[in-house]
Structure 1
Amino acid sequence: MPEGHSIHRLARRHRRLLKGEVVHTSSPQGRFAEGAAMLDGRTVLGTDAWGKHLFHRFDDGWLHVHLGLFGRYRDGSGEPPEPKGALRLRMVTDAHWIDLRGPTACELLADPERDALLARLGPDPLRPGTPASAAGERIARSRAPIGTLLMNQAVVAGIGNVYRAEILFRHALNPWTPGREVDPATWTVLWDDLVVLMEAGVRTGRIVTTDADDRERPHGRVRRTDAHYVYHRTGLPCRRCGTPVASAELAARTVYWCPVCQPEA
């Protein structure tokens, strides 16, 4: 599933392509035919993202998209290709086209409905000016493992399995540490680091969490094999201490950690 940086990156790209443009919309697949008909010929006023949710603003509401596990966008310039397969939504301007396939959610929301959706989400590290305390206060009251809390979109919006594993390693937190045992100062530093990492992800379209000194090749473009500390590295040596990376299921996903660098409390 795309993590929050990917959705913010899409929002920025769609803003460049669509803002202020009249769009012609269709649903070749037919599953969003009524919504596409309501949007056809209208002007996109802007785009926004919150966690893993993408929004396109129109004069009286929003197009809301959640890509989920299988959703994806594709775009191009000039004449769009012949529609094929399960194409949920096509948006076309005079200069560009955007195709959406396989989303978990593709729906029209009025302002109150969007507000209600956002009220169910936790703070997003990529929303400018969001303090660490916005999520920290809830974490400090919880007995749930920090590795579970980070995957709960009602606690922090936008974190997925990669950022979870990597940010916990970077701050020496065992995934099973209860939230209420995470020191507030540690959480603040972790949050600030997460903001930096996710903003870099928006700029580059990649998740790179390793420091140069911890990579096999410290200079030049970061190779995929050097990009992460523990994610998908089960059994490989920890980049800092050499201990084999461990993995287990937590919050319905596989979590990765170093048993020495992230000891149990």
Structure 2
Amino acid sequence: MPEGHSIRRDATQAKAALGGQVLRASSPQGRFAESAALLDGLVLRATDPHGKHLFLDFAPTPRSKPVRWLHVHRGLYGVWMLQRHDGVEPLPPRGAVRLRLSSETHTADLRGPTACDLVTPPEVQAIHDRLGADPLRPESDPERAWERIHRSRVGIGALLMQQEVVAGVGNVYRAEVLFRARVDPYRQGRDLTRAEWDGIWADLVELMRAGVRSGRIVTTLPQDRERTSGRARRVDAHYVYRRAGEPCRVCGTPVRTAVLVARNLFWCPVCQAH
């Protein structure tokens, strides 16, 4: 499933390519045809990502009352495909495209989302309210997450995957940030110190912002890679994620794996022993 940095990139790219323009909206697949007709001819005013949810705000017109937002959750298989065509006819849709948004210069196709629906402003706010602090939203307060974490008997590795606690963190960031903090993923939230939580939050902010800029998740320091200079290769990008049985980059102990919250967890039993 895409993590929060990918959704923020979706938002940035959509606003840059389609923002401020009158858009043509359609549903080549047919499953979103009625709602797409309500968006057709409107102007994309703003995008607002929160965790793994993306909201697109369309400027109201008399026929669009009440004001509605487009809410998208890509889920496991959803993807936005953006093409530039500069006034010529865009390429035909490929696959089951739920929604196509087109301007004079760009077309964005949404395929396979878990959620794609029109929502009212109160419904948007209700989703924001149930989501946790997002490291990529400047206004997010890590204190809100801490209030839940430090009272919980649940392991921090599971808590980080709960979107109502921390929004936008997925399996990769969960494994990597805990390794970088040298925290056992099974340690109960109530046993985490405030200093440890502050460090984890600050690291999430830094790593996820870097992910937005580069479009990939790189968590290793140059000195911990096989090649210590230049752009990190895919094989060098992570400390523990998808490295089960391979030697820890720091201590050499084989990386362990187990299923936690229906996802494969990866950790070093030595570096993260406490």
* TM-score of the pair, normalised by structure 1: 0.98
Quick one: which of 71, 74, 97 aligns to 1:64? 71
Preserved contact between residue 35 and residue 118 of structure 2 (Cα < 8 Å):
yes
Preserved contact between residue 46 and residue 57 of structure 1 (Cα < 8 Å):
yes
Quick one: which of 233, 241, 264 aligns to 1:254? 264
Q: What is the CA distance between 1:19 and its match in structure 2?
A: 1.3
Q: What is the CA distance between 1:85 and its match in structure 2?
A: 2.9
Amino acid at match of 1:77: R
Q: Deviations over 1:28-83 (max 9, x none)?
A: 10000011000000111111100001111013121011000010111112221122
The worse-fitting range, judged by mean Cα deviation, of 217-226 and 53-62 is 53-62
Q: What is the CA distance between 1:130 and its match in structure 2?
A: 2.6
Backbone CA RMSD of aligned residues: 0.9
Q: Distance in 2 between matches of 1:45 and 1:138?
A: 35
Three-state SS of the structure 2 residue aligned to 1:22 is coil
Preserved contact between residue 93 and residue 109 of structure 2 (Cα < 8 Å):
no
After TM superposition, the structure 1 = structure 2 runs for residues 185-224 of structure 1, keeping only pairs within 5 Å, are 185-224=195-234
Structure 2 regions of 5+ residues with no counterpart? 61-66
After TM superposition, the structure 1 = structure 2 runs for residues 1-265 of structure 1, keeping only pairs within 5 Å, are 1-58=1-58, 59=60, 60-78=67-85, 79-263=89-273, 265=274
Q: Distance in 2 between matches of 1:28 and 1:208?
A: 36
Amino acid at match of 2:161: M
Preserved contact between residue 7 and residue 53 of structure 1 (Cα < 8 Å):
yes
Q: Distance in 1 between matches of 2:174 and 2:95?
A: 34
Preserved contact between residue 133 and residue 188 of structure 1 (Cα < 8 Å):
no
Q: Distance in 2 between matches of 1:202 and 1:255?
A: 23
Q: Distance in 2 between matches of 1:181 and 1:28?
A: 51
Q: What is the CA distance between 1:100 and its match in structure 2?
A: 0.6
Q: Deviations over 1:2-25 (max 9, x none)?
A: 000000011011110111111100
Q: What is the CA distance between 1:207 and its match in structure 2?
A: 0.2
Q: Distance in 2 between matches of 1:238 and 1:85?
A: 41
Structure 1 regions of 5+ residues with no counterpart? none
- Give structure 1 regions of 4+ aligned residues with deviation exceeding 4 angstroms: none
Three-state SS of the structure 1 residue aligned to 2:23 is strand
Preserved contact between residue 123 and residue 157 of structure 1 (Cα < 8 Å):
yes
Preserved contact between residue 26 and residue 37 of structure 2 (Cα < 8 Å):
yes
Three-state SS of the structure 2 residue aligned to 1:118 is helix
Count the aligned residue pairs.
264
Preserved contact between residue 5 and residue 158 of structure 1 (Cα < 8 Å):
yes
Preserved contact between residue 67 and residue 104 of structure 1 (Cα < 8 Å):
yes
Q: What is the CA distance between 1:132 and its match in structure 2?
A: 2.4
Q: Distance in 2 between matches of 1:208 and 1:248?
A: 22
Question: What's the % identity of the aligned pairs?
Answer: 58
* TM-score of the pair, normalised by structure 2: 0.95
Amino acid at match of 1:76: Q
Q: Distance in 2 between matches of 1:125 and 1:84?
A: 34
